[in-house]
Structures are given as C-alpha cells and as structure tokens.
Structure 1
Amino acid sequence: MTSTAPTTTLARYLGQKLLEPLHLVTYMCDEPNEAMAGIGFDDGQYWPLYFAGRAAPLGQVPAAVVDAIFYNFAPGMAEEFYTGVWDVTTPSAALAAREAGSVAGLRRVLGPLADSPAIARAADLALRLALNAPSEGRPLYAGLRTIAVPTEPLARLWHAATLLREHRGDGHNAALVAAGINGQEAHVFAALDTGMTPRAYGRLDPLSDAELEAVVDGLRDRGLVDADGEFTVAGRELKDRIEEQTDLAAAPAYSSLTADELAQFTADLEPLAAHIEAVGYDYRVA
C-alpha cells in the first residue's frame, strides 16, 4: 500500500522541511569552509569555495556551464569566482572536503542525535529514494549520482539529502524557465515571497542599485510586481504555480514510499529538523 498523501504536499514537506535542513550545513556552518581551506582555498573568500564544492560533481566544466546550471546568480559571478578553482585542487578532492566538512558540521549541530538509530534508518530510506529518482533534465543531480555513496550513516543521510535537494533544484529551474522567469527575477520572487527586499536577499549583491531596480522594473512592466515593490495578484499566482510545478517534478522521488515507510521516515526526520531549527547552525555542543 502506497501513501495516499497529496504528492505535491508530500514532496515539499519531505524535501524542504525535513531533508533540506540536513543539507544546509554545507552553506551555514564553518566546517565545510575549513575543510576546503585544508585543500588550498582561502576560507575568507566564500564564493570560490561555494562554486568549487557545489560544481565539483560536474567535473572541470567551463564557467558558462556552471552559470547555466546554477541558474540564479548575478551575471558574471560564476566567471569571477569559479574560474581558476581547478588550479587550486581537483573536483574529487573538493567533493571529499565538502562531504567531510558538511558531515562534521552536521554532527556538531545535531549533538547526541547524530548517533541515534534514526540516522541510519532515515539514511537508508532517503538514499533509496534519492537513487531511484528520475535524472532526465537534471544535470546537477545526475552529476551527484556518479559520486560514491558514503558508508557512515550520518554521511549517507547528508549525501541523500543533498541528492534530493539538487533533484528538486533542477526541477525548480525547469519550472522557472517554463514560466519565463530568469535567474535574477527568480531571486526577486524569492525575496518577495519571504517578505524581504531584493537587495537584502543576497546573490544579487554584485548588481548595482540601478541594475537591480531594472530587474524589478521588468517584472513591474509585466504586471507581476506593483508600484510598491510587492507581488500583484498575477505575480503571486505565477509564483505559486512555479512552486506547484516544482513539487510535481520532485514528487516521483517519493512516490515509492509506503504508508508505513512514510510514517517511520517522518518520525525519524522531524526531531532532527526541529532540533536544527531550535538551535541553529552555529550551535556548539557543550
């Protein structure tokens, strides 16, 4: 018997609420940056570490390819920060450092929960889901599929969460393309969705105020943003449709869950996600 929960709701709840917090240590903790510094990077320069670690599953591809796959960075960021990273190290070394640092950060954040039986159970099921998801049209996810699976339970769980996160991300990019929303506009949409200003949201920092305002003006001209810089009714509806399409594209990864598996999976993951939310990524175990 398979789960009867709505697949779009299920995909968003499992993917964004329960699994993504386990992956976000990669970007929110010091340990991954420190591990990348150990292979030659300057940990005071965040973006080269980011681009090298996240793009490593793609191999030594040109910056233009990384820019296209990552989709939503300000123009020129990939060219500036990715170019030259493989003069510092190799993709395989970057992958190993990223995994080691991320797992160390996750272990610190979770504290005693990192060694609970729930970790191994959730890791095995998450990995099954992640490795049975469709890869067509998902370049970053497909690249991650070529990486050897870790054996240690916490590392396996982080790896599976990363696979499922990038699977969803590739599908989200496809939904944005279909909706005619480019990378910079996607960040304006995300900012407005969370009640932030586009300038405060990040990743568009390289844009001047005039350049950023031009992006917003373009959305305003299309009737998606109003004079006050908020969503119009049409803009809100388009944002919601993009998220619904993202859920639909992510849903096949979770379609094989039985009702019993879903119950166990959520019971194992919910305390982990709640702990991360409660203590934050800067928490230090006493």
Structure 2
Amino acid sequence: MNLIAVYTTLIVVLLIWIGARRNPLMALVEIGREMLRSYKFILIIVGMFSVLALNKYELQIERKMHLAADYTSFVFGLEGHFVRHVQELFYAPWLTPVIVFFYIFMLQSVLAASLGIYLLDKNRVLLYATCYTIILTYAIAIPFYLYFPVNEVWSYVPAGVKFTMLEVFPRFEQEYRPLSGLNNCFPSLHTAISVSMALLAFRSGNRRWMVISGISAVVIVFGIFYLGIHWLTDMLGGTLLAVVSTTVAVKLAKLTLRSGEDRLRVRSRATHTR
C-alpha cells in the first residue's frame, strides 16, 4: 500500500500540472491561504476527513452490529448475467493492466487533483463543491453498506464472473480488501466519485480537465464490470448518487460563499478555454 500511495502522489502532481498549467506545489500554498482566509473551509475539510474516517471504520461498525442481511441474490435476479456478458465480450490480456491502473490509481488521483486544480484556478465554488460532494457521497453510501449489503459479482458463484483484478494485482485481497468490504457494493463508490469529478469538471470550463476526468470516469465505470466487481445496479445507483451529490454540493458551495468578499461565479465554458 505504501507503493500505491507513492505512485498516487506522483500521478496527482502530474494531473495538477497538466490540468492547471502551474507548479503543482503551489496548490499547497493556496490551500494554506484558503484555510487562513476562511474558517468555513477548515470546517468543511474537517467534515470531509471525518466522513472518510467513518467509511474506513464502517467494516468494524458492521461487525459490531452483527448484521446478517445479504441482498446479492436479489440483485442477481434483477439483472442476471450482464457482467459476465461484458467480460466475455471485451476481455483481452493487454486491456486488464490498463483497467486495473484506472481502478487502483485514478479514482483518488483525480479527486485529489481536482482540489489542487480548483485551488490554482481560484475557482472557490468548485473547490468547496468538491469537498461537499465527498461528504454527501459517503454520508449517503455508508447506510446502504450497513443495511443493504450486496456482495461483489465475482464472489457470487451463480454469476459466473472472473475476478480479473488478480491477473495484475494478485495480492489485492491481502493489501486492498481491508479498505473495502466484500459486501460494500451498492452504490458503487468508484462510479459515484469518478462521475462526480467529471460532472464538476464540466462546470469548471477547464477543457483539459473535462477531458481527463471524463475519460477517467468512462474507463472506471467500464472497469467495474470488466474486473467483475460491481453489478449494473451498483453502477446505476452510483451514477444517481453522483448527480444528486454534485447538484446539492454546488448549491451548498454557493451558499457558503454567499458573502460579498467570497462570491465567485462558476466559470462558464464559453468564457474559459483551457
């Protein structure tokens, strides 16, 4: 996991440099300035890390609650062998490492880089909206993980799906599984977060970042099926969560920045051409 953290950091630096065309290290300076400028931002950051911490301990909470529900067979009854058909249609040995790269690295890299780019672009509306989106996404998803548990597709034998992740990352279950339970499928966080970052990027007017986050979202959403992890139902739930979270988050950001000195409109695509 330490190696993953190092690679993720390097990818974030590269994405910020491409997306903002400025020194990525200046994002650290800008976040310090924002914290000094606004106590509201500090509270939002605390809220964001709090909900991320809650997600980290969700598995322990689940075990202590002794919940025994399992809705996997119900979801399988709704959609049948959709994921298996996707795997059979698109599987290729050369494609698997590409999908694994996006699934493991790009999700958190695009999220972190979004914060850095909006800081450097001085787009405070989308900076705050990104933080609110994360808070809302996890706050809505965690209750589903506790009370509507659905197992990953590959682990449900009747689905007939392979876990292709292991072809590239054979120690996935030992190194990555502790971060995410086998039954934390609905809604798909990979879908919700990647689509959310793309939706916010399209509001930013930063064309390079629209393209990068858009491609990342498409590959990740395809990848959750290709790797045999998520059901179609999970993806649809994650997409709906992304739309709701980003819509509410932008409104909350504008309310937070409603005072005269904080007001900053969302840049329009017509006037900002990166």
Whether the TM-score (by the shorter chain) exceeds 0.5 is no
Higher relative contact order (CA 8 A, sep 6+): 1
TM-score (normalised: structure 2): 0.29
